[in-house]
């Protein structure tokens, strides 16, 4: 008999692709999702892309009784349900802590205190836990610096500086053993989610794996949610003939991974890992500006990005994954960034895209979360 998997947040972007791959591998799947309005739109209906063979239950992870009923007969749990957004988390504080931390607490309270058949739990964690990534100084070697001070940012000096000699640092791959240094409410909520899950899972002999997602993009990522990933936000703006809005100078680097690659990594961990923490990324850095300009080019537009040289509170400069740990299990990303963005654009051609990034930026400014800097063009 096929094992049954509960996927919380399974109607969302990453969750729905996870459901597809689980069913392709012969699992029976139950989706538990509250159809968040910010993600699914005002009608909040079960999305057409959700696999027809997946059982669907509408519910909130904070609803103990409802979640308990959904867990009773499952063998495995993939916990993807979460509020996602660095900027928004800095003012919608209760919303993020309640869903991400309390919701995870409810899940584990059920697993510890009620009868069930759960053999393993996979928890969606995040690269945001790291804060700044790892860096190299020519004189002092490998460094894990603290966030850039406001005084430096106010002068438009974006690059990370060595705390010992103040020379510019070069980014290095960031491994799972790096000290965590959360710079947003979202990051802290994901850290709490991860720490509680690993601690409780080990204490109660329930194998638990934390998957630290890097910057995921691809089909089904909401084009109407201004707090989703950068690729979808930029794609939505471009489809509305609006230049993508970019903070700082655009040269900050991230690790962009196509959703299908990320899901293959997740299921590799579901099938092979028992306990532990694993990065899921590509191991290759790309700048935010490169991402935006590639999308503009692929969409056939002639404008350029709107680089505003301002700092958004909670942002970091550089972080990309060291994927050597998951690679030992056979993981290898397939999509180049350009191939993946072509896939995103191809899917987006049939989708409604309402760009709300200006509204989101205005909210951040009103909350005092955008730092004005000296006008610069070359720093």
The verdict on residue 62 lying in a domain is: yes
Q: Is the pLDDT of residue 289 over 60?
A: yes
The verdict on residue 295 lying in a domain is: yes
Q: Is the pLDDT of residue 269 over 80?
A: yes
The verdict on residue 378 lying in a domain is: no
Q: What is the CATH number of the domain that holds 176?
A: 3.40.50.720
Q: What is the pLDDT of residue 352?
A: 84
For the record, the structure tokens of 79 come out as 């916990």
pLDDT cut 70: percent of the chain above it: 98
Number of domains comprising the chain: 1
Residue 378: which pLDDT band, with cuts at 50, 70 and 90?
very low
Q: Is the pLDDT of residue 39 over 90?
A: no
- Which is nearest to 135 in space by CA: 153, 149, 147? 147
- Domain residues for the domain of 320 are 4-371
Mean pLDDT of 266-285: 96
Which residue among the candidates 186, 213, 217, 227 is catalytic per the annotation? 186
The verdict on residue 376 lying in a domain is: no
> Exposed e or buried b for every residue in 324-355, given b needs 16+ CB within 10 A?
ebbeeeebebebebeebbebbbebbeeeebeb
Please give the mean pLDDT across all residues of the chain. Answer: 95
Q: What is the pLDDT of residue 238?
A: 96
The verdict on residue 288 lying in a domain is: yes
Q: Is the pLDDT of residue 376 over 60?
A: no
The verdict on residue 305 lying in a domain is: yes
- Which is nearest to 136 in space by CA: 85, 172, 107, 174? 172
Q: What is the pLDDT of residue 373?
A: 83
Q: What is the pLDDT of residue 48?
A: 92
Mean pLDDT of 90-113: 97
The verdict on residue 31 lying in a domain is: yes
The verdict on residue 283 lying in a domain is: yes
Distance of CA 163 to the CA centre of its chain: 29
Q: How far apart are CA 275 and CA 140, in angstroms?
A: 34
For the record, the structure tokens of 24 come out as 């392709």
Mean pLDDT of 55-60: 97
pLDDT cut 90: percent of the chain above it: 88
Q: What is the pLDDT of residue 45?
A: 82
186 catalytically annotated: yes
- Name every residue whose Cβ is closer than 8 Å to that of residue 248 and which is 6 or more positions away in sequence: 158, 288, 307, 309, 310, 311, 315, 317
Q: What is the pLDDT of residue 374?
A: 72
Residue 356: which pLDDT band, with cuts at 50, 70 and 90?
confident
pTM of the entire predicted model: 0.95
């Amino acid at each position: 008999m096929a094992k049954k998997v509960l996927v919380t947040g399974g109607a969302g972007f990453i969750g729905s692709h996870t459901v597809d791959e689980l069913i392709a591998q012969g699992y029976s799947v139950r989706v538990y999702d509250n159809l968040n309005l910010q993600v699914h739109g005002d009608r909040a209906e079960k999305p057409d892309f959700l696999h027809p063979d997946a059982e669907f239950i509408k519910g909130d992870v904070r609803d103990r009784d409802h979640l308990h009923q959904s867990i009773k007969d499952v063998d495995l749990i993939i916990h993807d349900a979460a509020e996602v957004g660095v900027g928004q988390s800095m003012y919608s504080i209760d919303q993020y802590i309640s869903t991400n931390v309390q919701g995870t607490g409810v899940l584990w309270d059920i697993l510890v205190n009620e009868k069930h058949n759960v053999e393993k739990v996979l928890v969606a964690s995040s690269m945001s836990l790291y804060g700044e990534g790892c860096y190299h100084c020519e004189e002092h070697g490998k460094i894990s610096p603290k966030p850039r001070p406001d005084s430096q940012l106010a002068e438009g000096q974006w690059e990370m500086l060595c705390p010992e000699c103040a020379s510019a640092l070069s980014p290095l791959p960031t491994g799972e053993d790096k000290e965590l240094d959360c710079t947003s409410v979202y990051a802290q909520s994901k850290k709490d989610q991860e720490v509680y899950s690993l601690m409780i899972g080990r204490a109660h002999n329930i194998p638990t794996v934390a998957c630290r997602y890097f910057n995921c993009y691809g089909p089904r990522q909401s084009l109407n949610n201004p707090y989703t990933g950068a690729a979808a936000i930029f794609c939505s703006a471009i489809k509305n003939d609006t230049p993508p809005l970019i903070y700082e100078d655009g040269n900050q680097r991230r690790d962009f991974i196509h959703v299908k690659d990320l899901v293959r990594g997740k299921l590799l961990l579901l099938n092979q890992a028992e306990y532990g923490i694993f990065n899921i990324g590509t191991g290759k850095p790309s700048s935010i500006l490169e991402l935006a300009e590639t999308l503009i080019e692929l969409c056939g537009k002639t404008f350029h990005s709107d680089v505003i040289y301002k700092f958004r509170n909670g942002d970091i400069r550089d972080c990309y994954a060291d994927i050597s740990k998951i690679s030992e299990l056979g993981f290898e990303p397939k999509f180049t960034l350009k191939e993946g963005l072509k896939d995103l654009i191809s899917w987006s051609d049939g989708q409604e895209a309402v760009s709300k990034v200006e509204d989101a930026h205005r909210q951040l400014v009103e909350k005092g979360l955008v730092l004005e800097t000296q006008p610069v063009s070359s720093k």
